[in-house]
């Protein structure tokens, strides 16, 4: 693998930027994460195709990232190229009942845009950070809805097959997972956002935001819920019942407000967060027999520490 050769070739070929040793703490809502060997902003489909070809030829692994709001990056960083989508993938337009948007569009902007045009279909998503691409990869959702249910089509770039248009009904949508993961880079999607009564939509959005503000530690860096809810149970309640609220490791803490959030209380490392995650998993398993599975995605190498 030759990262240097890949960097040289990418700098000569892309309209987007290519940085070396970019601290990932700048690109995650945790504000945690060591350097990515390469950090490339891909501004066009041409950039995407060229980058995947060059990285493939040079044997450099890659990972696509949105706003890093569901991501814990190792303190040692990522040995490969982190890719983010830029300019061409930030556009959106409403056509009839469809909201067509690039995968780098900020989810909150789309929610507001849909609401501003009297569309009801995304009200449930108010307050979810990140990009449309991240939301689709994760099938982001709440108890009131999930993005997969709104998808008409998704456009992907697959390293093997190039550009693909996939219908929402042909994609497997699960709890915090989608059949899109691992198939390539999501470039854009068309979402069905039916019209609704603006007063009702506004009051639903206000209620949901109020609930979030009341129950989540939004003033502190985090990646949202760390663990998925096990079948028929709440991860937060299991963690709270195990007496783990407020537990600290280094700069990381199990939020006293919401037990399924681990917050960065200042200077937390990825090892601090990962260590707390292991303590939570072993304690809850010993008490209840339930194995908590992470919702957040890990990037880089996490040796036991």
Residue of 24, 54, 55, 65 interacting with ligand FAD (CB under 6 A): 65
Nearer to ligand FAD, 240 or 288 (CB): 240
Note if 295 is an active site residue.
Answer: yes
Nearer to ligand FAD, 7 or 226 (CB): 226
Note if 194 is an active site residue.
Answer: no
Cα separation, 171 vs 38, whole angstroms: 31
Query: Which alpha helices (DSSP H) does 152-220 contain, by range?
Result: 198-215
Residue of 103, 166, 208, 277 interacting with ligand FAD (CB under 6 A): 103
Tokens of 195: 């019209």
Catalytic residue among 22, 113, 188, 295: 295
Q: Is residue 66 a contact residue for ligand FAD (CB under 6 A)? A: yes
Residue of 33, 77, 86, 129 interacting with ligand FAD (CB under 6 A): 129
Tokens of 93: 């337009």
- As measured in angstroms, the least distance from the Cβ of 287 to ligand FAD is 26
Q: How far is CA 25 from the centre of its chain?
A: 15
Q: Which residue has the tokens 């008409």?
A: 152
Catalytic residue among 188, 225, 249, 255: 225
Q: Is residue 69 a contact residue for ligand FAD (CB under 6 A)? A: yes
Cα separation, 260 vs 279, whole angstroms: 13
Distances from the Cα of 246 to the Cα of 3, 226, 269, angstroms: 42, 15, 17
Residue of 137, 191, 242, 280 interacting with ligand FAD (CB under 6 A): 137
When computed from its CA atoms, the radius of gyration of the chain, rounded to whole angstroms, is 20
- As measured in angstroms, the least distance from the Cβ of 154 to ligand FAD is 9
Q: Is residue 141 a contact residue for ligand FAD (CB under 6 A)? A: yes
Q: Is residue 31 a contact residue for ligand FAD (CB under 6 A)? A: no
Residues 6+ apart with CB under 8 A from 137: 66, 178, 180, 181, 186
- As measured in angstroms, the least distance from the Cβ of 43 to ligand FAD is 14
Q: Is residue 123 a contact residue for ligand FAD (CB under 6 A)? A: no
User: Contact at 8 Å (CB) between 63 and 299?
Assistant: yes
Nearer to ligand FAD, 119 or 128 (CB): 128
Tokens of 73: 């990056």
Residues numbered 199 to 258 that lie near ligand FAD (CB under 6 A) are 216, 218, 222-224
Burial (0-12, 13-18, 19+ Cβ within 10 Å), 174: exposed
Cα separation, 171 vs 173, whole angstroms: 6
List phi, psi (to 5°) of 110.
Answer: -65, -40
Catalytic residue among 176, 178, 249, 255: 176
Binding residues vs ligand FAD (CB under 6 A): 29, 63-71, 85, 103, 128-131, 133-135, 137-138, 140-142, 185-186, 216, 218, 222-224, 297
Residues taking part in catalysis: 176, 225, 295
């Amino acid at each position: 693998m030759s990262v240097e050769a890949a960097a040289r070739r990418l700098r000569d070929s892309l309209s987007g930027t290519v940085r070396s040793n970019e601290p990932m703490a700048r690109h995650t809502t945790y504000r945690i994460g060591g350097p990515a060997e390469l950090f490339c902003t891909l501004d066009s489909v041409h950039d995407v195709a060229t980058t995947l070809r060059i990285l493939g030829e040079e044997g450099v692994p890659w990972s696509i990232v949105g706003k890093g709001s569901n991501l814990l990056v190792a303190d040692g960083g990522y040995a490969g190229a982190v890719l983010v989508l830029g300019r061409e993938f930030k556009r959106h337009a409403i056509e009839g009942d469809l909201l067509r948007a690039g995968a780098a569009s900020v989810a909150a902007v789309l929610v507001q845009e849909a609401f501003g045009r009297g569309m009801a279909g995304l009200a449930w998503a108010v307050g979810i950070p990140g990009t449309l691409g991240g939301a689709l990869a994760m099938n982001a959702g709440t108890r009131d809805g999930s993005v997969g249910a709104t998808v008409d089509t998704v456009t992907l770039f697959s390293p093997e097959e190039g550009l693909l248009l996939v219908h929402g009904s042909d994609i497997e949508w699960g709890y915090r997972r989608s059949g899109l993961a691992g198939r390539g880079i999501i470039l854009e999607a068309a979402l069905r956002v039916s019209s609704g009564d603006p007063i009702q939509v506004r009051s639903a959005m206000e209620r949901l935001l109020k609930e979030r503000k009341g129950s989540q530690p939004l003033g502190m860096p985090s990646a949202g819920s760390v663990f998925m809810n096990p079948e028929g149970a709440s991860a937060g309640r299991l963690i709270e019942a195990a007496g783990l609220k407020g537990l600290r490791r280094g700069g990381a803490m199990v939020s006293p407000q919401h037990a399924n959030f681990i917050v960065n209380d200042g200077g937390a490392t990825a090892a601090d967060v990962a260590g707390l995650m292991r303590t939570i998993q072993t304690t809850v398993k010993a008490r209840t027999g339930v194995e908590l599975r992470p919702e957040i995605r890990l990037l880089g190498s996490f040796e036991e520490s």
